[in-house]
Amino acid sequence: MKKENAEKVLKILKEHKESSNKDLMSAMNFIKEDFDLTKDSLIKLTHHLDKLESSYNLLLQEYKNRQNK
């Protein structure tokens, strides 16, 4: 279903001058939903990446401290 909608949006993008207002609104809604989903995913992944980096650095520091004893 989503692939079909994406293909329809691509067609509307290519033919935007000839597309109806209803089609334009449909395409804009699809793009907005995809944008919001992508943005949310990136934010979550960024937080996850930050946490991974912090965890790694904490363990690395402990490891280094043990090597110096």
Whole-structure pTM value:
0.77
Question: How far is 33 from 10, CA to CA, in rounded Å?
Answer: 15
Where in the sequence is the domain holding 11, given as residue range(s)? 2-67
User: So what's the pLDDT on residue 40?
Assistant: 98
User: So what's the pLDDT on residue 38?
Assistant: 97
Question: How far is 62 from 16, CA to CA, in rounded Å?
Answer: 59
Question: How far is 36 from 29, CA to CA, in rounded Å?
Answer: 10
User: So what's the pLDDT on residue 59?
Assistant: 98
Q: How many domains does the chain have?
A: 1
Picking from 27, 22, 25, 26, the residue whose alpha carbon sits closest to that of residue 10 is: 27
Chain CA centroid to CA 57, Å: 26
User: So what's the pLDDT on residue 69?
Assistant: 73
Tens digits of residue pLDDT in 2-47: 889 999 999 999 999 999 999 999 999 999 999 999 999 999 999 9
